[in-house]
Amino acid sequence: MKAINIGLRWPASPATAMLAAVSLTKLNAMPRLLYSLFFYLILPLVLLRLGYRALRAPDYRRRIGERFGFVSAPEQTGGLWVHAVSVGESIAAAPLIQHMLDRHPELPIVVTCMTPTGSSRIRAMFGQQVHHVYAPYDLPGAVTRFLRRTQPRAAVIMETEIWPNMVQITARRGIPVVLANARLSARSARGYQRLSGLSRPVMQAFSRIVAQGQDDADRFLSIGARPDQLRVSGSIKFDVAIPDTLRQHAQQTRKQFGQDRPVWIAASTHDGEDSILLDAHQRVLKQQPDALLVLVPRHPERFDAVAKLVAARGLRCQRRSTESAISPDTQVLLGDTMGELLLLLGTADIAFIGGSLVPRGGHNSLEAAAWGLPVLAGPSDFNFAQISELLQTAGGLSLLDSAESIAAELIALFADSEMRETRGRNALAVVEANRGALAKLIEEVEGALTG
């Protein structure tokens, strides 16, 4: 049987789960019943993996019942269900959710995710304005239980969470399901094509698939979607908004750091990247002794390990969570708080986007671009290939693959304010030129709500 990763996104992806089931059964096409049986069989492994995660991140051991559909019912039913698997999707969904809260205050909204980091971000953004619980595992009983308790009028699933039971059971209950900001890589499309007996009914269960680009739409067609289901909107990540209050907060925070000192941020870093970035920072310090690195690990369970790594380098470090004033001789500020990444990006002169020096496919660089920052990243960018290409073509993004090249780029940008500002303007121009996807998505979601 093909090995599958049942970690943060259980399993790693719907396509991976389906392919694993096919390998298990030796069938070329598989009904949803057999797919469901496969997940029931691996349930003990899922729970073991959840326990392993809980050793590093205690939040994984909390609210386990919600993952099986035992969720608290919202005060009012008949509203909108938005599923955003983790932090990135939660951020992408935020403008849609905020629009619905502002324009339709009477509409109850249930927001689900699968990870503690996503949960923290949802709570930080919306508090008690939405009803937040974990999404159910893709088991028929769990999904049915969740729907009976929440009773949504329409559902929005963000980006790539194409789970057969979640989609089909919801649709069969007469609830329109919109796949929003949808993207599908060529590799995933090939995986789904091998499972046409399962993937085609799932695709056709969506009331609308709002794809980021035409290439994505074409791939959805190739795995069973109908032309009348598809709409190309662009990526709603371009519609990132930075409120005036946040800009003011960022300016005040930057003054606390030191208005004239060079500041760069390494955002959403993964294990294996921090050492490279600290090497780069130490090289920068030889040229710019007062430079400050704001280092923000992607996952909170890594905060302590990264702090130890910084200390082992002999670098003077402060933790953001202490809320103490930043000393002029501090060399690394560890961003160990939740929900502050957009703020911290606004304090920097240059941004490096993590998940790209290791084969994770990168993270969203548009928040940094929206601040008008020159953007740096590693070579692994397959999760945001189109965005990466646009930013590179415009001269707002540089892809680098080593501590030496990152340091050289930082030193050059710090030394030349005109070049730094030009690259930042180039990045911002890409964001401004591609706005508008959110309005198209809102139109589709409101149509689903009104039927």
- Residue 40, classed as helix, strand or coil, is helix
| Side-chain-side CA neighbours of residue 118 (13 Å) | 26
Q: How far apart are the C-alpha atoms of 259 and 175, rounded to whole Å? A: 52
Q: Which of 89, 273, 301, 409 is catalytic?
A: 89
Q: How far apart are the C-alpha atoms of 106 and 153, rounded to whole Å? A: 13
- Cβ neighbors of 51 (< 8 A, separation 6 or more) are 60, 61
- Please provide residue 63's backbone torsions phi and psi, each rounded to the nearest 5 degrees: 60, 35
Q: Is residue 89 annotated as a catalytic residue, yes or no?
A: yes
The DSSP secondary structure of 128-155, one letter per residue, reads GGSEEEEPPPS-HHHHHHHHHHH--SEE
State both tokens at 364.
Answer: 């969203």
- Cβ neighbors of 152 (< 8 A, separation 6 or more) are 77, 78, 79, 80, 81, 110, 170, 175
- Cβ neighbors of 367 (< 8 A, separation 6 or more) are 91, 240, 341, 342, 345
State both tokens at 169.
Answer: 């059971």
Q: Which amino acid is at 29?
A: A
Identify whether the C-beta of residue 96 lies closer than 8 Å to the C-beta of residue 82: yes
State both tokens at 399.
Answer: 């892809």
State both tokens at 56.
Answer: 């590093």
Q: How far apart are the C-alpha atoms of 413 and 243, rounded to whole Å? A: 27
**In what side-by-side order are the strands of the sheet with 292-297?**
317-319, 332-334, 292-297, 263-269, 350-353, 375-377, 397-399
Q: What residue ranges in 106-256 does DSSP mark as E strands?
A: 109-113, 131-134, 154-158, 177-182, 208-211, 230-232
Q: How far apart are the C-alpha atoms of 383 and 216, rounded to whole Å? A: 12
Cβ neighbours of 279 (radius 10 Å): 16
Q: How far apart are the C-alpha atoms of 441 and 80, rounded to whole Å? A: 14
State both tokens at 417.
Answer: 């304010």
Q: Which residues participate in catalysis according to the annotation?
A: 89
